Structure 1
């Protein structure tokens, strides 16, 4: 019995040491103390001590004596690692190093510091930003007739273009000293989101110059002379920018672009000028048909050593600025994407520009790829989450309102469980997107997070896809008939734009999130790779030795933590709060530990082949993404005081995220390429199987009930609508819907009684009018109540109507005669 007790105590002791992640010297010291204690009390005799010394003492001595460890163990491993590790090209190295790691690294490393999240301050709108949102942005939205934009003009009207230019919408990121607005990333996000609830075409037109564009590149990397030359014109709207990156055969793999810039000398106005001969063929370039200046990405070559380094010919990807009327540039034709924003091809043949056209000057030759990766990272964190959140919150209100107004089989369609399945997803996703958008945009205001913006680009746009699909299902025929009344079809039609822009979602998920995240977020891997590439073998060996044994301890600790938290239902994890969200913090820490170990084991067993196992890495990326998004929900819950609405929405969101995390782990383990490793992975990731099944029907119904009865003047309603444009008036597509919904809320108490009376035969009549007259005569309604129901019924019926047109108008929507017949404004000013 004594031996059993001693064994249990020792197991508990060492399990605790590994769970807490003590250092190797501490682990060794405890072991020496344990052996001494066992010898002192007589559990171990001289022979036992000798056996322990040989089996345990010798390895521990080797591990702790660094020169001996390095000579006997690490040197051989280091040599093998240097041989098998593929060479990292300068482009790949720049992509990996671009941007910063941020909160996502905490979720990746298995032991998140929740205090760091709680202490992080979300960006708040400044008074200037709030005013711009409430006034200029509101006015812009009111000027736009999206049916006119998408069907009649296939462009923004001239007065809208002028308003955007003259009011600084293209200059939100440009510093004030250059005439720009100098808005925060969060401020830009709110402006783009609000515009997107009115017109995706206008939102894309505004967002592109404020994400990946000449303005951002000039602000971060331009020379003083370049900034003074170009930024004032961009800020005033005199210059319209575009950036030419993607080519005909170059999509996600932009490093393979065939476009070139050859350093050469030309005689210009009688003087010899050092410059570039550019040849390029670009497509999918937003604003290209109307741009006056362009940024251009190309591969720079200097065959004659004119830049001063005769040893270097290929400099790599470089970025330059030039006017679009430069001789040799062919520009102006349009693509016709799902949304009608300006987008088109650009070609150039032997286009000569001075050498100082390189952004940042000649010293930045070959540095373009890093510039682009960092700017793309920031853009992903602002623009696309803003579009997705605008769609989510817009559909939240619109679809909920329609679900109350539309009645079938004698009841509001929002009461049907089948409708609530989709409606709840809209509400849950909208809440997730708002919290993720707030945290991510605030992160961009503090650093340049690269991994997190890639994951949010993918998940936000995929959520948007789901939201729009559910909204279309619930609206049914009302959503598919095109016309001025339709507030869904344009977003549905334009959805693929967000899915493919800045890299197709398939590539983002399978290559970028975990591919870059595993190396950048891991505390040791990238440093180990750098040590392996160190040309000084001994210096590299010393650094590799230190990193390797820290890495081994880290991996063992995460394995023990992941398994322990898994079999105990995460009860041993610590929560930073004591409220309804406490258990969710614990479960996220548990899955974070499991991810850290699974990532380590995958990199260790698959090595470089992991890069080719895209489904495997994508599933680990999904785990990381949902950990980050769940933590954003927890942050939002704490910041907003945990209202009843927040509790219901946050619970739905976190149940969803935990379900998706377990599913990702399940598919990761089930399909892991090396079968022998699968049991180990399952033991750590899902030791007791899957426990989370997603939001229950009752949780979904509770969320739907709040959606169907939400008022915009409540604290929660204000938070979900502060950056939305809600049209006013019965001639506005969203205005007529919200006017009817607000009227329904006013008459709801006695309107419900009226409908119940009709259903049970207490109120008679074939039409609503005769039924109202009968209800008043029987004193079941007052005359005033009847008048209010008449007004609501008129509004309700108008909401259900769809558009129809003459064939003449559809054939030529710009015909003045056809337009007058349709009641459309006859005065159309087409943008030049």
Structure 2
């Protein structure tokens, strides 16, 4: 036994040092101390000597730079350059356009949770709160979604005028240009509230404040462009759209066939140098009503009029609607959610160079401009839209499940319905936290490229799942369209958010991990830059420092993954309170798992990893749910750690942890190099997968939050439009819940007495009269039951129509659809 003691001592010290990420010199010093102790305490001297020699053989070459750099680092640098996947200019721009926030900690394997919890809680200014309470509330009260989606297929003229007059289109325009100059968090709250009653109106308001002319002008516009266009965009004199997507390239700006040729032409009565544009765009939101068009195209200068580069590259320009040759086509009709959307065409449309966004200096920099600002718009508009729909859908579906009765019971009491309510509650909580987190990141000055992709993908996916479950709970109420239906249009529109601003399939399988693995990793991007450094000596120095930092990082994550797997992440220091500390420990485990598997994937697959989309998608799921659970824990602590929110937090957390383990399991079981996958499995899951989905008991508690008036339910509903006005049937259902709950004991008492009586009355009113005469209920209780019946009827009623009222007006005009290509 004494033979093994020196080796075990060195290994144990190595494990402890790796777990705590101590320097190599510390490991050597501690190992030397332990070996000396073994020698004097009677361990086998030969074994002790061998252990000392092995430790020295490992440590000395690594500690001495005159040995390490020429004999270890230099050969590894040559090998690394051979396996390094080539980065195109477009990929390089995409990586350099984003910044890294707390998501970088999640890739570290040892997140600094204190930095997350110390971030300031997002707050509205008095001016922003007043805007929400005033103009936004009034706008929501005026929204008749049935009139917008079925009758007009558009906003009423007075609503267009209202949103322009109150500068809804100018939320992101700075105050010095006449805009509102709101924070990203205020922008999120406005979109969230409007989306809770109408996705058409929220899209109409959201697009001018997302990636488009205003955002691009604020960051890149010339002084003249800013002074002229920004005030007009702020007050609605200009309605903007941005034309990127085309039939043959989708949203891939690097491949668009639309082009502009530098030439001379007439503009304003003078001959000037400009660009002659030919383009074919589709799916352009607000295009049918836009007065100012932002356009992405590839710019060419065959005659070298502005330089010596023929293919200048992707460029962005501004086109007034009345520019000669611009053809704004007829409208698209997006899934019965008829926000203004349509094609744009142009052939040899001339504009001067002064119409390029940023002027001539920004010619060819369009891809960089789009990437830098896309993450900001994508962080807010779609996640906020999903949040508004999920939060409203959750509290209203909970109220409906309490009000609607079958077999003498509220349908929410049936376990099958309860399962759906639990999913709705947990996912609404998660979406709310995630959408708030990305908006807060923008306000901190970040360009959250990876979090914005996470938020866009997961908020819209969970939004689709929430509305699908809500439709199931509502049953017939959900499928009969009409003014009383507050779910049908949301269900029809859910695929739109999934599709726009980057299709979710591609976002998950290519973008989240593909960009995150390089941008968020603490060492990979540094190594890549060092390997490409033209200064050989400086590059070797940088690569040496980063390579061995990376090796220590990988060893640490292997040890941490194995230890957390053995202990179930139940041991170790963690922040939070007594309730959330265990959650933070679990996230430490999955952070280490992600970092380890990502490192091994990049090492063994190299450039082939970008083509392993299933593996990339699964690892992206792990990163996404780490970010999502971090956002939920941040929200929980920002709210003061309310006990009432614990069922929602716990359900959403356990659902995410189960998803992470499934994703890791799928990645390792299908790892392209099978022995590597088997070895990683032993490190990551030494006792197999242990995470379970949320339990039925937890699901019952989460569902109960939705069906009972309580502080947790009110917090979940905060920020959505639930005023019980004529045009908001969802708000009426929500506001009925407290009265329904208060009347239930009286209802039970009355029904029990009625069942045991011999009263023959069949009409509900006559039965109530008998109940009062028999003394079962008082006159006040009779009134309470009558109100309950009226509230229930208002909640469950659906609409019916005259047959001609359902026919579109164009049915009588013989209008036929045509493709945008035909129109061109």
- Contact 1:775-1:781 at 8 Å conserved across structures: yes
Summarize the alignment of residues 197-236 of structure 1 with structure 2, pairs less than 5 Å apart: 197-236=196-235
* Cα offsets for 1:407-431 (capped at 9, x unmatched): 1111110110000110111111111
Determine the structure 1 residue equivalent to 2:392. 394
Contact 1:565-1:573 within 8 A present in 2 as well: no
The aligned counterpart of 1:412 is 410
CA apart distance, 1:675 = 0.6
Moved more, 160-169 or 786-795: 786-795
Distance 1:806-1:813 versus aligned 2 partners, 3 A rule: farther
Q: Does 1:806 align with 2:808?
A: no
**Residue aligning to 1:249:** 248
Task: For residue 84 of structure 1, report the CA deviation from its aligned partner.
Answer: 2.9
Q: CA separation in 2, counterparts of 1:86 and 1:264?
A: 39
Aligned with 2:786 (options 790, 799, 804): 790
Q: CA deviation at 1:530?
A: 1.4
What's the CA shift string for 1:6-56, capped at 9, x where partnerless?
Answer: 5544432222112111112222333344444445556465x6676456544
Tell me the equivalent position of 1:819. none
Shift of the 254–760 alpha-carbon distance from structure 1 to 2, 3 Å rule, reads farther
Structure 1 position 24 matched with structure 2 position 24: yes
Structure 1: 5+ residue stretches without partners: 816-832
Write out aligned runs for 1:721-760 (5 A).
Answer: 721-729=717-725, 732-760=728-756
Out of 594-603 and 542-551, give the one that drifted further. 542-551
CA–CA distance in structure 1, aligned partners of residues 305 and 727 of structure 2: 64
CA contact (8 A) 1:573 1:590 kept: no
Kindly tell me: are residues 761 and 2 of structure 1, through their superposed partners in 2, closer, same or farther at Cα, counting changes over 3 Å?
A: farther
Distance 1:300 1:761 in 2: 86
**CA distance, structure 2, for counterparts of residue 757 and residue 588 of structure 1:** 55
Name the CA shift for 1:774/1:250 in 2 (closer, same or farther; >3 Å): same
Pairing of 1:561-600 with structure 2 (within 5 A): 561-600=560-599
Taking structure 1 as reference, are residues 760 and 54 closer, same or farther at Cα in structure 2, changes over 3 Å only? same
Q: Is the 8 A contact 1:288 1:346 kept in 2?
A: yes
Q: Contact 2:387/2:428 (CA < 8 Å) preserved in 1?
A: yes
For the 8 Å contact 1:152–1:814, the answer to whether it is kept is no
The SS at the match of 1:687 is coil
Give the superposition deviation at 1:508: 0.4
Q: 1:762 to 1:738 in 2, by over 3 A?
A: farther
Paired residue secondary structure (1:692): coil
Deviation digits for residues 82-116 of structure 1, max 9, x if unmatched?
23323322211000111211111111211010100
Aligned residues between the structures: 810
**In structure 2, how many angstroms separate the alpha carbons of the residues matched to 1:67 and 1:360?**
51
User: In structure 2, what is the equivalent of residue 774 of structure 1?
Assistant: 770
The TM-score normalised by the length of structure 1 is 0.94
Deviates more, 1:789-798 or 1:29-38: 29-38
- Matches for 1:405-804 after TM superposition, within 5 Å: 405-446=403-444, 447-711=446-710, 714=711, 716-729=712-725, 732-761=728-757, 765-804=761-800
> Match of 2:374, SS?
helix
Please, what is the CA RMSD of the aligned residues?
Answer: 2.0
Aligned partner of residue 717 in structure 2, secondary structure: coil
Answer whether contact 1:152 1:813 (CA < 8 A) is retained. Answer: no
Identify the residue that residue 190 of structure 2 maps to in structure 1: 191
| Cα distance in 1, alignment partners of residues 147 and 377 from structure 2 | 29
SS of 2:277's equivalent in the other structure is strand
Deviations 1:254-296 (A, max 9, x none): 3111111222222445643121111111111100001010111
Is the 8 Å Cα contact of residues 757 and 763 (structure 1) preserved in structure 2? no
Compare 775-784 and 247-256 and name the one that shifted more: 247-256
SS at match of 1:720: helix
Structure 1 residues 269 and 660, CA, compared in 2 at 3 Å: closer, same or farther? closer
Change (3 A) 1:330 1:52: same
Question: What are the residue-to-residue correspondences of 1:288-367 with 2, within 5 Å?
Answer: 288-308=287-307, 310=308, 312-338=309-335, 339-367=337-365
SS of 2:517's partner is helix
1:826 matched to which residue of 2?
A: none
Distance 1:532 1:5, change over 3 A: closer
Distance 1:42 1:745, change over 3 A: closer
The whole-number CA distance in structure 1 between the counterparts of 2:717 and 2:519 is 36
> Higher mean Cα deviation, 91-100 or 798-807?
798-807
1:194-241 residue CA offsets vs partner (Å, 9 max, x unmatched): 111121100000001111111011111112111001001001100000
**Cα distance, 1:346 vs structure 2:** 0.8
SS in 2 for 1:170: helix
Name the residue aligned to 1:141. 140
> In the alignment, is the contact (CA less than 8 A) between 2:262 and 2:273 conserved in 1?
yes
In structure 1, what is the Cα distance between the partners aligned to 2:49 and 2:113? 46
What is the CA-CA distance between 1:811 and the residue it aligns to? Answer: 2.4
Distance of 2:117 and 2:749 partners within structure 1: 48
Match of 2:279?
Answer: 280
Higher mean C-alpha displacement, 699-708 vs 160-169: 699-708
**C-alpha deviations, 1:409-454, integer Å up to 9, x for none?**
1111011000011011111111111111222211111111110110
Structure 1 residues 124-148: Cα deviation after superposition (integer angstroms, max 9, x where no partner): 0111111111110111111121111
Deviations 1:343-399 (A, max 9, x none): 011111111111122212222122111211222211121111111111111111111
How far off is 1:739 after superposition?
A: 4.8
Q: SS of 2:529's equivalent?
A: helix
Residues 764, 770 of structure 1: 8 Å contact kept? no
- Whether the aligned pair in 1 keeps the contact of 2:261 and 2:276 (CA below 8 Å) is yes
Separation in structure 2 between the aligned mates of residue 337 and residue 564 of structure 1, nearest angstrom: 51
TM score, norm. by length of structure 2? 0.95
The alpha-carbon distance between structure 1 residues 14 and 738, as it changes in their structure 2 partners (threshold 3 A), is: closer
- C-alpha distance in structure 1 between counterparts of 2:378 and 2:413, whole Å: 37
Distance in 2, Cα, partners of 1:591 & 1:735: 40
Q: Distance in 1 between matches of 2:168 and 2:181?
A: 11
Equivalent residue, structure 2, for 1:383: 381
Contact 2:6 2:47 in 1 (8 A): no
Larger CA deviation: 353-362 vs 761-770: 761-770
Higher mean C-alpha displacement, 166-175 vs 786-795: 786-795
Change beyond 3 A, Cα 1:224–1:322: same
In 1, are the aligned partners of 2:141 and 2:725 still within 8 Å (CA)? no
Q: Name the CA shift for 1:135/1:624 in 2 (closer, same or farther; >3 Å).
A: same
The whole-number CA distance in structure 1 between the counterparts of 2:810 and 2:265 is 49
| Aligned residue in 2 for 1:828 | none
| Structure-1 separation of matches of 2:279 and 2:538 | 44
In structure 2, the residue matched to 1:373 is: 371
Matches within 5 A, 1:117-196: 117-196=116-195
Give the drift of 1:555.
Answer: 0.2
Partner residue of 1:15? 15
Q: Which runs of 5+ in 2 are unaligned?
A: 812-824
Range moving further from structure 2, 539-548 or 720-729? 720-729
Distance 1:79 1:242 in 2: 49
Question: 1:818 — aligned with what?
Answer: none
State how far apart, in whole Å, the 1-side matches of 2:251 and 2:391 are: 30
User: Compared with structure 1, are the counterparts of its residues 101 and 762 closer, same or farther at alpha carbon in structure 2 (3 Å cutoff)?
Assistant: farther
Secondary structure, in 3 states, of the residue corresponding to 1:803?
Answer: coil
